[in-house]
Structure 1
Amino acid sequence: MPVVGYYNGQYVNPSEAAIAIDERGHEFGDGIYEVIRVYGGQPFLLEWHIERLQNSLNAIRITSPYDANGYRELIQNLLEKSGETEASIYLQITRGSAVRNHLFPAAEITPNVSAVVRPVPDKGEQTPGKLLMQPDERWANVYIKTLNLLPNIIAKQAAHDAGADEALLVRDGKMIESASSNLWFVRDGELITAPTDRYILPGITRRFVLELANELGIPVREEKLSVTELSSIDAIFITGTLSEIFAIDTVLSHPDLPVSTPLQDVAPHPIVVTPDTCKTEWTAKNFDVVNRLKEAFSQHIDELRKASVSA
């Protein structure tokens, strides 16, 4: 039973209806989520995921339905039910179900907890990808891992339409993040990534890569780089729970997605992007630092899998 659905204590079929129409996550996106990667049957960096989940709940004033031990038990039960050793776990918590109203429900309601466990196939050897530069149209509290992802979806779809793998989001002239990934630059052997302020998601893999860089003696600077500095960059990569460390060899731009000027007063949507209408703005020069990080990441995962087998 590789794909397992869960809703408020019951195991369900993820493709069948399980929630009430008056569910605040369904109607407002009033909730938060986490995605956890499982290697060799072990949830990777689970404590960090639980910490971020609880921070997100606190930020939007939802009382956590579990303490840390409760989340650990829930994750373990989901994995046992699934039987998968290489999987992803999507965990979602909403404010609950109540008659639709923009205000928080007056009566005390119970948060709704749902989850899906899916197998993750081996990605094999990956070739470097492409990014499409776009203005960052997300809200001002990106640090909260909220369900409201429409700007991210539109940005990532535009990148896909351009023949790219992800977006390179620019806010106030600074290259800060991707639609569903943290963004990294390498220049003269130094790693550069945007600091985790309110406009950046505090990525779990980002946090782990910072530790890897320290282990490897790679210098790191947390700074937002200007678009004008792109030509000086040697390498780019993105990180995420499922993408891990993914090298980038090309950055594209599109004339209808300007990043050097403020957002237009008149929204230009829908924007239709095709590969032939894009321009190459940057190509990679040297992947040495990226490859060192990827190798170190793989070694950690191999050790995690071996420890799971011997346990």
Structure 2
Amino acid sequence: MSADSSRLRNTQANVDHLAYFCCPAWEIDGWQASREISLPMDDIGFRQGVTAVERLRTYNGKLFLLDQHLERLAETLRLIQIQGAPSCERLKELAIQCIHRNQDWMRNQDCGLTIWMTPGCQPGQPTWAIHLNRIDHAMVAHRRKHGQPLVVTQVQQPAPECWSRHAKVRSRLHYYLADQHAKQIAPDATGVLIDCDGSLTETSIANIAIVLDGTLVFAPSEKVLRGVTENHVWTLLSENGVAITRQRIPPEALDEASEVLFFGTDTGVWFSNGAPERRLVYRCGSMCSFVQQVFDRSIPYSE
């Protein structure tokens, strides 16, 4: 075997795994190699970018907050009017199977799991898949320990009249442009989108909250995607008597904040180490340390 052939085989082994794919237009419905998944050119998901998506991850080999993610997916499907989807119970069964079938691919490392669904080529016949994705564990550890820069951009969230902000979809050009702007200022930065009133909303990978006078302040729920990690943390902090609230967060509030926290699927809870364009420096303070501890205690462990 040539060196090129060996490298190709190793690359395929690293990327490829068993995924569940359902495409009525091609009469496909079952497990197959992930590299074989593609969309018909007439699929609305390809032609118009209409795709609902849900992304979750494992901790210690177990899918974390699976029911909550499936509830949000069901809400997204309702909001963007994709008909004919399988039940949450069916998707839950297949998601768990996907983890069990790919133990060799996972190699005792936690991974992400993605569920996406398009309207398909015919009404009521959606195209959908369940597949795995690698997590950059080194980056996760770095962000939790050292933080990540935050850049306030001028990219606006689409108005609710376009589509509900509670729908998690693959139409993410606004997030992409915000991050492109942020990375021109700091290579590892994430960009925060603003609302039409100029207040802060969310980044491409996280909900945010700031610490003001000992209170953890989140953006109003109607302005952002309902983050599963964020909601989980909100419940945990409520049970632990932490002062939390939701209110409009103007960019100027960053100047008064003692800490800025991020909440997202891959990394869980981490913090901003600064807003370089505003010459602000933050740290992992007592609030972030406590929230990380509470969150980590809620993670299931292998039996």
TM exceeding 0.5? yes
Residue equivalent to 1:25: 45
User: 1:138-174 deviations in whole A, cap 9, x for unaligned?
Assistant: 3123221111111111111222232142112222121
Of 136, 144, 147, the residue aligned with 1:128 is 147
Q: Contact 2:153 / 2:178 at 8 angstroms: preserved in 1? A: yes
Percent identity, please. 20
The letter of the residue matching 2:96 is: Q
Q: Does 1:250 align with 2:274?
A: yes
Pair 121,133 (structure 1): closer, same or farther in 2 beyond 3 Å: closer
Tell me by how many angstroms 1:90 deviates: 1.0
**RMSD in angstroms over aligned alpha carbons?**
2.0
Matching of residues 1-311 of structure 1 within 5 Å: 3-4=16-17, 5-8=19-22, 9-16=29-36, 18-83=38-103, 84=106, 86-98=110-122, 108-123=123-138, 124-125=141-142, 126-140=145-159, 141-163=164-186, 164-171=188-195, 172-197=197-222, 199-252=223-276, 279-284=277-282, 287-301=285-299, 304-305=300-301, 309-310=302-303
Q: Aligned with 1:96: secondary structure? A: strand
> How big is each residue's C-alpha offset from its partner over 1:215-269, in whole Å with a ceiling of 9 and x where there is no partner?
33211010111222221111001111112112102113xxxxxxxxxxxxxxxxx
The answer to whether the Cα contact below 8 Å between 1:176 and 1:193 also exists between their aligned partners in 2 is: no
**TM-score with structure 2 setting the length:** 0.82
Read off the aligned partner of 1:182 and give its amino acid letter.
N
Q: Deviations over 1:196-229 (max 9, x none)?
A: 10x3100000101101211332110101112222
State the distance in 2 between where 1:240 and 1:64 align.
Answer: 29
**Structure 1 residues 285 and 250: alpha-carbon distance in aligned structure 2, compared to 1, 3 A threshold:** same
- Alpha-carbon spacing, 1:209–1:97, altered in 2? closer, same or farther (3 Å): same
Q: CA separation in 2, counterparts of 1:159 and 1:14? A: 32
Moved over 4 A (4+): none
Unaligned 5+ segments in structure 2 are: 1-12, 23-28
Contact 1:7–1:18, Cα closer than 8 Å, also in 2: no
| Matched position secondary structure for 2:52 | strand
Q: Which has the higher helix share?
A: 2
- More displaced, 181-190 or 130-139? 130-139
C-alpha distance in structure 1 between counterparts of 2:43 and 2:63, whole Å: 29
Length, aligned pairs only = 269
Q: What's the CA shift string for 1:80-119, capped at 9, x where partnerless?
A: 2211361100110110125xxxxxxxxx441111122124
Residues 157 and 193 in structure 2, CA contact (< 8 A), matched pair in contact too:
no
Normalised by the length of structure 1, the TM-score is 0.80
Any unmatched runs of 5+ in structure 1?
99-107, 253-278
Cα displacement (A) at 1:285 = 6.0
Q: Which residue identity is paired with 1:203?
A: G
